[in-house]
Structure 1
């Protein structure tokens, strides 16, 4: 599976739908401090020529979900992709300002809906071609065939509860940093802590110091906390289902075949005081 594209490969690509999906998400200063903003202003300042900015808070998201960035239906994804100019045979390339978590979130969403896309490895910092600023001409609306059912890449709260209580096989993986696991830093959500019984695989550990996705034995070493059996059911979560998608990307690239992302993650879980959270 070709989930990534290098800057050189993108520069050599002909027609492509290139989307900057960066979102500004401020670090919380106190518990419950959730502040997000569109990354459009950054895109206007500097972007890959011909690209468009997509606000993931509103696009490729279901506004009816009780948490941010809720996973949308395949039909909604298809309609929004077509409105952006997507057509059969035209590759879709996703990039962000360098965290790769936003590009991974969009990639996972499109993949669940049955659409292939590639992530610019390293994001905008890795792009060494020409850059543009200001507005870009809008692409003409495209057309995509009606998608089928979801590929089942999302997990819900019931799935997580079944794993934690031993009612279903699987491994729960947390993509948050150790500070969040320990509850020593403020959270954007209702309560600090993490879901009991999970493994720790912080999303950032899957990137090199240069911001590229690890490969080969380097990636295998980073994935060591997770069972090697490629068919082990894995559910990844984080705070809001975003960095979990970067960890999920690494797991898929590392050969794991049964990976899902808990869409609501801690935003949904922590909002219910009856659900346990622990510290480590």
Structure 2
């Protein structure tokens, strides 16, 4: 089954009475609190999901800026959203699916049936369908989550990934090259990483590109269906979006490094590369 659902197909599922639970995951780096946008208008029945506090675990800077929540914390959040056994989850945002993909990748690891609304909030609005403009507190669910399985890489996996396959850095080129300083201690990339920004997979209309287009973009950086890939970004959010693109393309061997650059750059003694090539100029954190 595709990890994406179109606006038309989602509307049809809702109309049919299917057990669909909508997750509003509006978040972006420059406006992390998405609840005001949620209150101003959201898909009918959607509950707000706080990426910073529910899809990440604050207070662990040594693991990066958005470390994964533990199973118990995520289970408590999922129950707050009102999720019941058998529910089909659909996550959306207003940022080309980047934040929604974090929910998709994380919840899928814990066995939930979850998809991303292709085109997100903007596509729903463009279709002329109605919005809801009030807060919604769900009746708590009672679902139990198993431990997460698969799709995960740690900092040491990232270090050896270029020798075993491809380490794919999906940040914007200026961040990959170390040309722009951010909120992390140093700028640059993990030596050996190749750069393919996740926005490459987003079409001008905000929909994800076709499987053939995604496969062509991956082939240009040496990735095919059998390549072992570790995906890294700034703090594990954009990486999940590229993992979504891999799933659409039918490529199964991609793992996400959640700590990404925000963890690597805080780990003393790790090498740092700058410039346009995988190992152009190397220093040490």
Q: Does residue 42 of structure 1 match 2:42? A: no
For 1:18, which of 17, 22, 25 is the aligned residue?
A: 22
C-alpha displacement of 1:61: 2.1
Pairwise mapping of residues 129-140 of structure 1 onto structure 2 (< 5 A)? 129-136=129-136, 138-140=137-139
| CA offset digits 1:133-187 (Å, max 9, x no partner) | 2323x2211122442x3212221111112234x4xx2210000111112222232
Q: Report SS of the residue matched to 1:187.
A: coil
Q: Report SS of the residue matched to 1:209.
A: coil
Contact 2:226 2:253 in 1 (8 A): yes
Q: Does residue 156 of structure 1 match 2:160? A: no
Q: How many residue pairs align between the two structures? A: 266
- Shifted more, 180-189 versus 54-63: the winner is 180-189
Q: Distance in 1 between matches of 2:75 and 2:177?
A: 40
Pairwise mapping of residues 26-175 of structure 1 onto structure 2 (< 5 A)? 26=30, 37-63=32-58, 65-66=60-61, 67-127=64-124, 128=127, 129-136=129-136, 138-147=137-146, 149-164=147-162, 166=163, 169-175=164-170
The CA RMSD measured in Å over matched residues stands at: 1.8
Contact 2:28 2:95 in 1 (8 A): no
- Structure 1: stretches of 5+ with no match in the other structure: 27-35
C-alpha displacement of 1:58: 0.5
| CA offset digits 1:17-76 (Å, max 9, x no partner) | 1111112422xxxxxxxxx53100011112112111111111022335323221123443
| CA offset digits 1:190-235 (Å, max 9, x no partner) | 1111111112211000010001011132222222234454232210
Match of 1:256 in 2: 251
Q: 1:100 to 1:139 in 2, by over 3 A?
A: same
Q: Distance in 2 between matches of 1:83 and 1:106?
A: 15
Q: Report SS of the residue matched to 1:13.
A: helix
- Structure 2: stretches of 5+ with no match in the other structure: 277-285
Q: Report SS of the residue matched to 1:172.
A: strand
Q: 1:269 to 1:252 in 2, by over 3 A?
A: same
If each structure's helix is expressed as a fraction of its own residues, which one has the higher value?
2
Q: Distance in 1 between matches of 2:179 and 2:145?
A: 47
Q: Distance in 2 between matches of 1:228 and 1:209?
A: 24
Contact 2:161 2:229 in 1 (8 A): no
Contact 1:74 1:114 in 2 (8 A): no
Q: Distance in 2 between matches of 1:41 and 1:270?
A: 32
